[in-house]
Amino acid sequence: MDIEFSKEDLEFQKEVRAFIEKNLPTGTELWTKRTRWFDALRKKGGWDIPKWPVEFGGPGFTPTQRYIFDMEMGRCNTPPQLPFGVGMLAPILMNYGSKEQQDRFLPGIRDGSVNWCQGYSEPGAGSDLANLRTKAELSEDGTHYVVNGQKTWTTLAHIAHWIFCLTRTSGDGPKQEGITFLLMPMDDPGIEVKPIITLGGSHSVNDVYLTDVKVPVENRVGEEGKGWTYAKGLLIHERTGLAGIQNSVWALEKAKDTARSVKVGKRTLMDVPMFRNKVGELEAELMALEFTELRSLASASEGGDPGPESSIMKLKGTEIQQRISELNLEAAGIYAAPWGTQAVGHKFARGATSGYLGGRATTIYGGASEVQKDVIAKNVLDLGS
């Protein structure tokens, strides 16, 4: 495995750093900053969609360039792209969607004019996703499906224009069969969204109720009953993204800076051996995770597909995210207790508790840690079928 960057890759890294330094907006309202940033990326020539292939407008990055690009963006904490359209649905449409679906949906996904949410999890079908019960019945004339059921923990459903949804069209055979991938507009009168306020106090997830929703057959992606195949491919990419490795590199550096600002007697918190040891352990594990990503990169550079490495990265990456939030909570100390709208003590303390509580979900969504361990045991350690 060769994990050294070539001369060309190092030149590309310099180009990315120069672009960030020149174009990253500062001191502006978040949404305005995000809009200006992605406008600059788009004008650069597909940098707003770095993982898309050239035929769909992507920049044609090599796997190594994609890694470098993500690494530099993460290290500078650049505005994130909403993942559901660009990073999750788009690859499914490119690989399994019809030409008409690609022409219809990809432009709005790219320019951000159409927001998407993911209709996967249900009550009783979270980590055991194949147990889903939302039913889609084909009409007698074969022109549309009628969908009834409930989705839960649906992130950003309250601001989404469309939802991509796994539905059950058949109960025969293994439960992984008979699942169909459908696209639905969220303004359909049969769709109702109810908020779920999380432990951290935020409204990001929702319950979505589907009652007699009519979905034209042209909104079915791929073949009927093949949705599980498409969903598995999507989950591999989702889990890799959820690992958040590059963002954790930035977050850990920020946590260290925060600790240096907290006085403990005549020292700073960063000088306290127990705290410094925790930081050192995290840095070592994060570095090991980066090398795991590089191994996956080496395989991709030779034409391989993402495999069980995505579960390793998701498992460890989300655990590291939680431990970084614990460092911030420890640094905030007593000032983390009165969390919410009013800041007390250190400025960073206001978000310490909400970040910690909200972060409890990272090891659950996208496939709980127990599921990732099963995948690793079967496909990496070969511990049974």
Question: What is the set of active-site residues?
Answer: 238
Backbone phi, psi, residue 199, to 5°? -60, -30
Q: Any idea which residue has 């999750």 for tokens?
A: 88
Q: Give the single-character DSSP code of 188.
A: -
Cα separations in angstroms, 101 against 49, 54, 105, 163, 270: 18, 18, 6, 14, 53
Helix (H) or strand (E) holding 147: strand 144-151
Quote the CA–CA distance of 4 and 11 in Å, as a whole number.
13
Q: Give the single-character DSSP code of 231.
A: H
User: In this structure, what token pair is assigned to residue 233?
Assistant: 């491919």
Collapsing DSSP to helix, strand or coil, 179 comes out as strand
Quote the CA–CA distance of 135 and 210 in Å, as a whole number.
10
Q: Any idea which residue has 């507009």 for tokens?
A: 185
* 51 Cβ neighbours under 8 A, 6+ residues apart: 58, 61, 66, 87, 91
Q: Give the single-character DSSP code of 82.
A: P
The answer to whether the CB of 318 falls within 8 A of the CB of 373 is no
The answer to whether the CB of 106 falls within 8 A of the CB of 56 is yes
Collapsing DSSP to helix, strand or coil, 384 comes out as coil
What is the chain's length? Answer: 385
* 38 Cβ neighbours under 8 A, 6+ residues apart: 48, 79, 81, 112
